[in-house]
Amino acid sequence: MQPSDYLRRCQVLPHYVRFFVTGKVVRDWAIGREVTAVYPYDSDLKLVDIKQEPELHSLLLFHRDVLAGTVSFGGRSKVEEGEAWYAYYRFVNEKYVPPYRLTYAFIGTHNHFAFPNASCFAFNRSAPVLLLKRQDQREPYLWLAGILNTNVVELCLEQLCYNRGAGSDPIRDRLERGTAQLEIIPIPTDPIKEDLRNTRMLVLAQEIIGLVDQLPTLSIRKLFEKPDEAYHAWNSTLDGYVPLHPDLSSPFTTARELRAARDSLIALREDIRGRMVFLQEEMDWLAYEMYGLLKGKAPMAKDYLSQREYEAARLALGQRPLEVAGKGYKPPSLPDALKPLTEARIAVIEANPDIALLEDPLYKRRWIPPDYEKGFRKAAEWWLAEKLEWVLEQHGQPVSLREWARIMSRDERVNTVLEVLTATPMFDLEKELLKVIQANAVPNRTEHYLKAAGLRKLYARQASGTTPQYRRSDLSDGTAWKLRRKLNIPRERFIHYAELDHTSRGVDAPDSGGPWFGWAGWDAAGRADGLAFLLDRANRAGWELRWRQCGLRAALRDLLPELTELPEADGLEFEGIAGMCGISLETDCYCWAYREGIARGEPGVPKVDAEVLGVRVVVAEQKRERRRGKSGRQADQLELDLG
């Protein structure tokens, strides 16, 4: 499970990327498309030979210990079972062969079943797949999706499934909806049987699935897409990609156009949402009749509305019968056309205790309102990160924040987005871009984001060859933890060269143009070239003390073993660069001395202040010194000739 931009930097071909489905993204008939995963299978569902795909092989090789160590029943690993180390664990071809299937959230407060209408998904165990015997017929799947999403089925599941969140508030209970429980749920009739109620349920399910299929075209990220801009060409080749909804305008150029497009998108989504709430109510009341919970016919919308009124019918939260009757959300004003239908249903609720039990927030779908403001900001920051990364990749070498902002300022669409985000045309460009950059950057040196415990785990890996698992307490940098998580996977877009960040140090240093950053997609040769560029710039800026260049020199030294694997011509070139910088594997380095001390359980280097070793360490040290009233100690250390 990886973000698509990380797989793009690893140069994975788009047809090996699929949207990753977990139970958390299956909600209200829809499937979210926020996360992707590597899918090492061809169109015939056969495992590919990754040795024939160098980029894919390089990526998966980084995770080999974890992938190969997956343990099956009996304590045997995949390799011991005779499977390829990079194959999906317990990969079931039957889930992907049929043209149709259902999936659902294994754990949740309510029943969420969805009909994946595309072959662009990879399913996690928290999103099980349901297959019917009639696998080549679409209608039975739609009909069953309609039945399984009703509150009658939710009531049944509440009685059958294990409750993982039992407590004083039943509304927060989370159930494990296993396949064994689904198999014994009573189904009112055969979906193939010609019956008026079956036909109605199928028609309702078809309409709601058609609405769900429009939602990907109304993703807020779509507002920012523009052909031939940044990474749009790669993103648009992913399986399951859909263009912007046809009712929305062409790519924005001004703040007014962006605001208008945002408002139109929200209006379209709310219209679809209102229609889905209305259709779900129809399904719930039709299910009461199909399960024999009513003595007569259920009050259905088509019995109270004209065809035109039926097609225009929408419901907001608070307008459903149970809410008008006093349960759940506070009721807003109800459209006049829907009042007779609502009154008829309320009368049934009051007269029938079985329906009164079902018409309760505990069993009815919640339809939690989306936070459009948060979603817009998140989408805008994603687009800005894409633009920033594209510019940095094209730049080809490390760049200062000042120069980066100067390049970005030439793009009117960037200025437009920032104007809308900040609600003013008088924004500080560097400040706003730095927020996006810092949310996607990790320091160049491990000492700058790993604490002593984390460094010891890193060195243990280098010694044993096994992949350690980190904790949040092992990292001093919150952004690094958010991006890399427990396996320390380098998912960041940018490298932060904290050694050149004069603004973060309490010392006098030449102004380097602000923080410096590199592209995380560079290979070893590209990183070495960037470090040589920065060392040359540090020398030109007059940073003569060796401690000012210590981290850069150590980073270049770390790359030397990888550079020896380059073609001979490139290897000689970078050996020459390292030689000009005075660096070899035998070069003394305070960063390396610090590492070795950590590995021995002796943090620190004798007579060397923390200032030498990392920006984040020195900031904390300075605060401690100020509290102790010993602020002069830092200046004394800076006068030492550490060479």
The arithmetic mean of pLDDT across residues 172-177, rounded, is 83
The structure tokens 């977990």 sit at 22
Q: What is the pLDDT of residue 545?
A: 43
Domain count, the chain: 2
- Judge whether 272 lies within some domain: yes
Note whether 63 and 143 are same-domain residues: yes
User: Domain range spanning residue 134?
Assistant: 4-188
Note whether 18 and 128 are same-domain residues: yes
Using CA atoms, how far residue 279 sits from 187, 297, 302, 326, 333, in Å, is 20, 18, 12, 21, 19
- Judge whether 61 lies within some domain: yes
CA–CA dist 68, 89 (Å, integer): 10
Give start and end residues of each alpha helix (H) in 303-411.
307-312, 321-324, 339-351, 353-358, 372-395, 401-408
- Judge whether 481 lies within some domain: no
Note whether 181 and 230 are same-domain residues: no
Note whether 172 and 223 are same-domain residues: no
Q: What is the pLDDT of residue 583?
A: 52
Q: What is the pLDDT of residue 153?
A: 93
- Judge whether 578 lies within some domain: no
Task: Please list the helix, strand and coil fractions of the chain in percent, rounded to the nearest 5, in that order.
Answer: 50, 10, 40
Exposed, middle or buried, 643 (CB in 10 Å: 0-12/13-18/19+)? Answer: exposed
Neighbours of 63 (CB within 10 A): 16
Note whether 139 and 101 are same-domain residues: yes
Of 358, 385, 403, the residue at which a domain comes to its end is 358
Exposed, middle or buried, 296 (CB in 10 Å: 0-12/13-18/19+)? Answer: exposed
Residue 106 in 3-state DSSP?
coil
Q: How many CA atoms lie within 13 A of 229 on its CB side?
A: 17
- Judge whether 179 lies within some domain: yes
- Of 358-362, 513-517, 604-608, 618-622, the one with minimum mean pLDDT is 618-622
Q: What is the pLDDT of residue 627?
A: 43
Q: What is the pLDDT of residue 564?
A: 63
- Judge whether 364 lies within some domain: no
* Edge-to-edge strand list for the sheet holding 102-104: 113-114, 102-104, 129-130
CA–CA dist 265, 259 (Å, integer): 10
CA–CA dist 180, 164 (Å, integer): 17
Note whether 310 and 354 are same-domain residues: yes
Note whether 175 and 225 are same-domain residues: no
Using CA atoms, how far residue 228 sits from 251, 262, 390, 581, in Å, is 12, 22, 12, 40
pLDDT class for 463, splitting at 50, 70, 90? low
- Of 33-42, 91-100, 351-360, the one with minimum mean pLDDT is 91-100
Note whether 221 and 176 are same-domain residues: no
The structure tokens 């060796």 sit at 546
- Judge whether 585 lies within some domain: no
Q: What backbone torsions phi and psi does residue 319 show, to the nearest 5 degrees?
A: -105, 0
The answer to whether the beta carbons of residues 517 and 404 sit under 8 Å apart is yes
Note whether 221 and 184 are same-domain residues: no
Q: Which residue has the higher pLDDT, 180 or 560?
A: 180
Q: What is the pLDDT of residue 302?
A: 93
E-state strands within 431-589: 441-443, 494-497, 516-519
pTM, full prediction: 0.85
For the record, the structure tokens of 176 come out as: 């494990």
Rg (CA), the chain: 30
Beta carbons within 8 Å of 316's beta carbon, 6+ residues apart: 274, 277, 332
Q: What is the pLDDT of residue 624?
A: 39
